[in-house]
Structure 1
Amino acid sequence: MMDMDADAFESLVVDELDQLPDEMVDGLDNVVFVVEDRPEDGSLDLLGLYDGLALTERGRYGMGELPDRIIVYREPHLDRCADLAELRDEVHTTLVHEIAHFYGIDDDRLHELGWA
């Protein structure tokens, strides 16, 4: 397991988010990115989570809605990665995967595209 404190990991996530193509992030509406240590169940299996209403389902989405969240879990990433380069790559993949869920792309399609 890699060792990286929460602040350093959050900075890495922000760096990777900044490197994503503008076309991918410009359409994000009412979404916040959050870094947490682990999922609620305490497992190390889940790297990220999209918690919200996909863009394709927002016909009933209205003003005053709480922001959707894209959560990146620190400890599962550190458990899975052997070095910084691998960690950056995995965080990048997690961000793309969870942003895709915002756009309404499901896991089956993400597997087809190589992002799952």
Structure 2
Amino acid sequence: MEMSIESFEELVTDELDKLPDDMVDGLENIIFVVEDRPENGEDLFGLYEGFALTERGQYGMGELPDRIIIYRHAHLAACADEGELRDEVHTTLVHEIAHFYGIDDEQLHELGWA
């Protein structure tokens, strides 16, 4: 599947807007970024960079924002059409937001999101 970076960014924004309010209302000091692929060559759909809420002690003003990165090439390579792509982006967003809240991969697997 092919899609421009601009169109993919719009799709990610659309899927982010569709997430439940109780999932996104608690997000603080976090940015969402689209990149083509990880610099280290790993095959990832997304990545959470930062400190989970459960690991924050004296977290406060002046901190650099945490980042959720969505990787375009991995998503396009795995999906045959836009419907599949939207589903996979949705799953990736939920997965990475869960890491923000301190939910690890094992718990996500148990919940069916990994």
Q: Which residue pairs with 1:113 in the alignment?
A: 111
1:60 match: secondary structure: coil
1:49 match: secondary structure: strand
Matches of 1:111 and 1:81 in 2, distance apart? Answer: 21
Matches of 2:38 and 2:76 in 1, distance apart? Answer: 14
Matches of 1:66 and 1:36 in 2, distance apart? Answer: 19
Q: Which residue pairs with 1:30 in the alignment?
A: 29
Normalising by structure 2, report the TM-score: 0.97
1:59 match: secondary structure: coil
Q: Which residue pairs with 2:5 in the alignment?
A: 6
Matches of 1:46 and 1:11 in 2, distance apart? Answer: 20
Deviation at 1:42, TM superposition (A): 2.7
Alignment RMSD, CA only? 0.7
* Letter aligned with residue 21 of structure 1: P
- Alpha-carbon deviations, 1:69-108, whole Å to 9, x = none? 0000000000011111000000000000000000000000
Normalising by structure 1, report the TM-score: 0.96
Which residues of 2 match residues 31-110 of structure 1 at below 5 A? 31-43=30-42, 45-110=43-108
For structure 1, the 5+ residue unaligned runs are none
After TM superposition, the runs of 4+ consecutive aligned structure 1 residues lying more than 4 A away are none
Deviation at 1:41, TM superposition (A): 1.7
Deviation at 1:62, TM superposition (A): 2.7
* Letter aligned with residue 81 of structure 1: C
Matches of 2:17 and 2:52 in 1, distance apart? Answer: 22
